[in-house]
Amino acid sequence: MNIKVKPMGDYQTNCYIVTVDGKDFIIDPGIDATEWVVNNVTNPVAILNTHGHFDHVWSNAELQNKLNIPLYTPKDDIMLLSSSSWMSDLPPSYADIEVEPNQEFDFDGVKVKFRHFPGHTPGCSTIEIGDAMFSGDFIFEKSIGRTDFPYSSPKEMRESLEKFKQIPYDKTIYPGHGGTTTIREEQQYSDYWIGNI
């Protein structure tokens, strides 16, 4: 597996290109991500959203059209693809696949698992491919996603962190902002966040 990353836009939102067995998966194409993505893929097969906030989905539609590939978005965040309370000029996009909570997909032998961790947004999910977890805005290095936004839920975030604590394996975490960490590392801080949300 090969992973390319580039922070996009004012919020430095990480856009990832994950290549497995010659297939390119584009995760969270944010603001002005299109040119970088197009220049760094050879066999793109899907666009994957961890959640629906504008800085993670801005280039969805442009890449759908340019690359002629499907968009996978957690179903509970579909409403965020066409309107943003922060960015009225968000280019609307439309999911080809509305991902059910904890749904897994098989792309000719490459397994892609969405794991539902609501709280930051209703559909907020991590995406697991091989030994990597792309955590969007759920978990960061020594931090978690904010719960004071429209559609956020502190209660659901606490429940999600309880679920996260129970993951029995370790993987490298590639978050939506900032640098990498691991599941085991961030599980150490789960109780702190549960008690302080």
Task: Report pTM.
Answer: 0.96
Average pLDDT of the chain is 96
Q: What local confidence, expressed as pLDDT, does residue 85 receive?
A: 64
DSSP label of 97:
E
Domain region containing 101: 2-196
| CA distance between the termini of the chain | 35
CATH code of the domain containing 120 = 3.60.15.10
| Residue range 4-34, pLDDT digits in tens | 999 999 999 999 999 999 999 999 999 999 9
Helix/strand/coil for 25: strand
**Number of folded domains that form the chain:** 1
CA atoms within 13 Å, Cβ hemisphere of 195: 4
* Low pLDDT (below 70) residues in the chain: 84-85, 87
